Amino acid sequence: MTGIRTALHRASRPLLAALAVLLLAQGPAAAKGLADPREAVAIFQQATAAGDLEAIMALYAPNAVLLFPGAPVIGGSDKIRAVYQRNFAAGPNRLTIHAAQIDGDADAAVILWVWTFEVTPAEGQPLRRTGRSLVFFKRGPEGWLIYADMLQDAPVE
């Protein structure tokens, strides 16, 4: 039995080494999801100010949906990416989240946040929008990801 165990141990070394190389080659960009959904508040604000599309996209599950008032459902990574690309192309963006409340359990959470979004076009005055969002997260093997992001215009209270 000891001989078999030793042989398996020796045979597994190259496999483990190859797996480690593969995982390291993917780098930090391959990691998705959050340790805690509350982290999304700071990430959204910082990534919006920096125009960091990839940081925002890393928050969303591949099959996530955006729900805007009076608009069709925006579903999937490609369509969500296009929304943020248009926002960033319009000029410098700023998102301020004024309040956030979370409720959930070990596998699902909802955050309600109140926000102000501002974009400053190259030629013109800043355009401001205020509202609130209900953001639904699920926890999977990769961490917490957004599956639904629904917003509505509303005055900041």
How far, in Å, CA of 7 to CA of 142, rounded? 33
Maximum Cα interatomic distance, the chain, rounded to a whole number of Å: 78
| 144 in Cβ contact with 111 (< 8 Å) | no
pLDDT single digits (tens) 65-93: 999 999 999 999 999 999 999 999 999 99
pLDDT single digits (tens) 91-100: 999 999 999 9
**Which pLDDT does position 19 carry in this prediction?**
25
Residue 60 has pLDDT above 50, yes or no: yes
pLDDT single digits (tens) 90-123: 999 999 999 999 999 999 999 999 999 999 998 8
**Which pLDDT does position 5 carry in this prediction?**
33
Residues 6+ apart with CB under 8 A from 115: 95, 96, 97, 98, 130, 131, 132, 133
How far, in Å, CA of 157 to CA of 152, rounded? 14
pLDDT single digits (tens) 20-43: 222 223 333 334 799 999 999 999
Compute the residue count for the chain: 157
**Which pLDDT does position 157 carry in this prediction?**
63
**Which pLDDT does position 32 carry in this prediction?**
75
| 76 in Cβ contact with 83 (< 8 Å) | no
